Amino acid sequence: MSLAVVMRNRAPGKGLRRFFWTHPEWWSLGLAALAWGAVVSHAGGATIVSGAGRHQEHVHHSISVPHIMPFQVEFLYWCLMVVAMMVPLMLAPLRWVAFQSFRQRRHRAILLFLVGFLLPWMLVGVVPAWLRTFDWSYNPLLASGTFGLAALWVLGPVRRHALVFCHLTVPLAPSGWNADRNCLRFGLIIGASCIATCGLLMLACAFTGHSLIAMLGGTLLGVLEFRSFRPPTGYIFAGALVLAAWFLLPISSAWLH
């Protein structure tokens, strides 16, 4: 390689340009990071790492005056949680839609996929946001029970099929309205499959009041699972059960006292 080429390859900005070329999905990960930031800053303080401790407080409050959030706030938290937890799992399809598109359309393709992907999640999110307007939904038994259900759901055939479907690819038109529609539709399909796969787990996370423990645990399970057609079902099942047990702790300790 000549000196001229070496110098050109080392020129300022070359590495950055190469990075943006090879990772057009960078901004969607930034979006997820922002969502994590918002969730963490909301949780704040020492209680953020202790789901059990935090719920102990909720149990106590639910007897008297629970901290019930308005529907809009709960819905916003749901949206943040979905972006924080689900978008990083979508790296493969995000890169796929980008590189199946013309260069000048890559970001548009990613955006449309994300819109399609998030839309069903937002629609589904109305339910937990509404449920969280009732004080009974703050009972940790509900969160724990939903994690238990999520663990059972892991073992069922419907979920296994849905998980395989998460690895679907579809042909994308290269340009025009057809291309936009294809990206949007692809996002919708993957979003719907993702709900069938992870919906219960996310619902359980919502019932914990978007606890960081629940969200981090759920994300870890998602990463473990999404990287393979043949996920370690036993680990996912056990992980969901651990979360169920964790959020049961406040109740059992209350009973013990």
Partner 1 sequence: MARIRRNVWNLPAGDETLLWYGRAIGEMQQRPITDPTSWRFQAAIHAYVRRADPLAVQGERLPSAALRRQFWSQCQHGSWFFIPWHRMYLHFFEQIVAAEVANLGGPDDWALPYWNYSADEESRLLPEAFRDPTLPDGTQNFLNVPERDPACNAGQQFADDRDVALRTALIQAVFSSSNANNFGGFPTNFSPSGSGPGQLERVPHGSMHMAVGGAEGWMGAFNTAGLDPIFWLHHANIDRLWQVWLNRDPTHRNPTSLQWLSRTAFSFHDASKRVVTMRCLDVLDTNALDYTYDDVSDPLAAPVLEEGFAAVEPETEAAMPDDTVPPELVGATETSVKVGNTHSRIRVPTPAHAAAQGRFLDVTEAAEVAPEPRILLQLENLTAGGRANSYDVYVNIPDGEDPTKHPERFAGRLDLFGVAEASRAGAEHPGSGLTYTLDISGIYKQLSAAPDWNPENIDVSMVPVRNWEGATVTVGRVSLFFA
Residue ranges that bind partner 1, judged by CB under 8 A: 1-2, 5, 9, 17-18, 21-22, 95, 99-103, 157, 160-161, 164-176, 178, 227-230
In the complex with partner 1, the residue whose CB is nearer, 2 or 41, is 2
CB of 115 to partner 1, least distance (A): 21
CB of 172 to partner 1, least distance (A): 7
In the complex with partner 1, the residue whose CB is nearer, 230 or 257, is 230
CA 24 to chain centre: 20
**C-alpha torsion angle, residues 221, 222, 224, 225 (rounded to 10):** 110
In the complex with partner 1, the residue whose CB is nearer, 44 or 157, is 157
**C-alpha torsion angle, residues 179, 184, 187, 193 (rounded to 10):** -120
Instruction: Give the Å distances, CA to CA, from 212 to 21, 46, 160, 215.
Output: 33, 11, 27, 5
In the complex with partner 1, the residue whose CB is nearer, 20 or 136, is 20
CB of 52 to partner 1, least distance (A): 33
- How far apart (Å, rounded) are the C-alpha atoms in residues 24 and 28? 9
- How far apart (Å, rounded) are the C-alpha atoms in residues 238 and 184? 35
The full length of the chain comes to 257
Contact 251, 53 (CB under 8 A): no
CB of 169 to partner 1, least distance (A): 5
CB of 138 to partner 1, least distance (A): 38
In the complex with partner 1, the residue whose CB is nearer, 166 or 248, is 166
